[in-house]
Amino acid sequence: AKVAGKNCYRFYSRAMDQAVERRVHLEHELRGAWDRGELSLVYQPVYRLADGAMVGAEALLRWKHPEQGLIAPSVFIDVAEQSGLIETLGPQVLRAACEDAMAWQKARPDAEPLFVSVNVSPRQLRSGDLPKTVADCLHDTGLAPHYLHLELTETAVIGDEIHASNLLARLRASGVKVWLDDFGTGFSGLSHLRRVPVDGVKIDRSFIADVLRDPDDLALTTAIIAMAHSLGITVVAEGVEKEGQYAVLRERGCDLAQGYWLGHPVNAQEFRALLIS
Ligand code: C2E
Ligand code: CA
Ligand code: CA
Ligand code: CA
């Protein structure tokens, strides 16, 4: 048993070393990935429930690794965040998204412009450079501020709420919209809304997944919508995979929705084709 235990320990420690090694390796490769053209944005359409119109799109980052193929953002965003790489990657993503949003406007000059929604990581928010980065991107691309939405998770605002709320207030004063992402998953979502100024919340897809089966999830979703509206803020539902979910959200007065049933994330070229069709 003692020998087995020892082997076990060795096994785990080797597995841990390998995990650390893989991370370090990934970080090294991620460093040049943008310049090598391996990183790109895909866009998932966002619809207004009242009339079914497409009103915007969320930018989601993809990494096509030359050997490993597509790597999930849940893996590499974390690496970028921990290593500090996100501080270069974040502004690159923001700029590309603003450029693409301007191209959509040029493709449909007579239509109401679509907003582009960009995910901002906790570290980007903490660094304090965000208002300047955003202002530079808007200035250089010519995108009007209210067509840029920033999505932050609750974890980004935890800790230094005063710093976060000052920063968000500055961004919002410039016209940029701020969304609280994955809303409802943290324990203190409601108290954040009291202190952190946002334009809207995105109901986490775990609530939407069970909204037709689980009365509790339906009750919570309905309550989030009512609460957001009483605070004068907008509600987006994410992860809408079925027509029934769409119907129930619409009936409960949810403002916007996105999900596989409405549209998968597609690359910039496919998204433009979708716009013109
Ligand atoms: P998120 O911000 O919650 O993004 C929504 C995720 O749900 C996306 O996964 C999207 O592809 C997926 N999704 C959309 N519709 C459905 C649906 O109907 N059903 C299901 N099951 N999933 C759906 P993705 O693209 O893998 O992104 C994962 C996370 O990585 C994002 O979660 C976001 O937190 C992060 N991320 C992605 N791009 C960026 C980025 O440019 N910057 C930062 N900081 N984070 C990013
Ligand atoms: Ca998001
Ligand atoms: Ca989310
Ligand atoms: Ca449930």
Model confidence pLDDT, tens digit, residues 189-234: 667 777 778 999 999 999 999 999 999 999 999 999 999 999 999 9
Per-residue confidence (pLDDT) for residue 193, from 0 to 100: 75
Predicted confidence (pLDDT) per residue in 116-132, tens digit: 999 999 999 888 899 99
CA of 2 from ligand 2 middle (Å) equals 48
Question: Which phi and psi angles does 148 have, rounded to 5°?
Answer: -110, 125
Judged by DSSP in three states, 222 sits in helix
pTM: 0.93
CA of 10 from ligand 1 middle (Å) equals 36
DSSP labels, 95-141: HHHHHHHHHHHHHSTTSPPPEEEEE--HHHHHHS-HHHHHHHHHHHH
Amino acid at 112: E
The residues, ordered by sequence, that sit 6+ positions from 35 with a Cβ below 8 Å of its Cβ are none
Q: What is the mean pLDDT of residues 159-183?
A: 90
CA of 237 from ligand 4 middle (Å) equals 16
Which of the listed ranges 45-49, 65-69, 73-77, 109-113 does the model predict with the highest average pLDDT?
45-49
Q: Establish whether residue 73 lines the binding site of ligand 1, counting it when its CB lies within 6 angstroms of any ligand atom.
A: yes
From atom 11 of ligand 1, which residue's Cα is the shortest distance away?
265
Other CB atoms within a 10 A radius of the CB of residue 94 amount to 25
